[in-house]
Structure 1
């Protein structure tokens, strides 16, 4: 969802800046102003003194301006933190018995886990995503099942085989998992 929000915001900002910037450049170079242009001459000032001070005495003006700016700043901060937050875990700390430990690449563990899950009977496709921290990883597993497989059977086999293998190989005490199951067939018409 964040990717969609990013694309929409960047597209709208780009369109707005391109329209306004192109119009200002064209009028500044002597082109006739567009019909929606609020000024009549290229030497008009952007804000006249009357426009700048028009709402100054109204009691609602400054609280509205401050509330709007506060909301805009909070939205910008939310967007920035969403950009900086990592979606996937890049490495897992493996306890090797010495004081230092070893680092296991997160993509490697995801690939092995997805491959093990995909080799289960009745699984058409599997995908794994690591989240959490280096010392306490969590995994999200997405399984697309064949039409004739019972979901409980696939979940039990995933827990007993693929997740247990990943937990043991990374020397983790626990590996919490969120599993999403879908059935990989469409409804067929009967005539």
Structure 2
């Protein structure tokens, strides 16, 4: 599951809980139940403006129980740990926002190219290579140089070795020349479809053979 999906799911759940709680508080604070002639159950929270959100009996009901405080402390600890983990996961991004372009012979000038623009250009160049049906390229961090990470899907009968050669002589070579980089390592994951390719509108392709080729250095 990708980070984007996890973030959207978490934000959706938190937003739903806050929305429900806000509607309940608003309905009780504005005395909408009485005005609309609605009679909620006895256990329903905040049915009138004079009623507290949490009643006194509810606040002290379990305080005398031995399991109460360990449960509260443990629950809050898990909540804080989960929040910190989510925050650290957001800060540890594998992608790059931009990449520096060397400017030899020009002092005081710094050039940077947006990573998203570079990724889109590489994807477009890779997608038009022979036998390529779909391509996805990302620019990720590496210890010494930025690294390309690509996933390419070939049509049935496609040749992965030929794709590596075309990628090396085309998109990767052009990127190195444009960015004035001595090298731009790349990891390619290639999938070759079997049989007739599925219609794009159905959003589902047939299973194919996944081949991980040696890194292109």
Measured against the shorter chain, the TM-score band is 0.7 to 0.9
Partner Cα separation in structure 2 for residue 38 and residue 136 of structure 1:
60
Pairwise CA RMSD of aligned residues? 3.3
1:157 is aligned to 166
Aligned with residue 40 of structure 2, among 34, 38, 44:
34
Q: Which whole-Å CA distance do the structure 2 matches of 1:92 and 1:26 have between them?
A: 52
Give 1:69 shift.
0.9
Gaps spanning 5+ residues in structure 1: where? none
Matching residue of 2:69: 62
**Deviation sequence 1:17-76 (CA, Å, 0-9, x none):** 333332333334151453374459634444444543343344433232122112212222
- Equivalents in 1 of 2:46, 2:169: separation in Å? 75
Contact 1:27 1:33 in 2 (8 A): no
Report if the CA contact (8 A) 1:33-1:40 is conserved. no
Greater relative contact order (Cα 8 A, min sep 6): structure 1 or 2? Answer: 1
Q: Is the 8 A contact 2:46 2:52 kept in 1?
A: no
In the alignment, which residue of structure 2 is the partner of 1:77?
Answer: 84
Contact in 2 for aligned 1:96/1:102 (Cα 8 Å)? yes
Structure-2 separation of matches of 1:17 and 1:36: 23
Question: What TM-score do the two structures reach when normalised by structure 2?
Answer: 0.67
Q: CA deviation at 1:84?
A: 5.4
Shift of 1:79: 3.0
TM-score by length of 1: 0.74
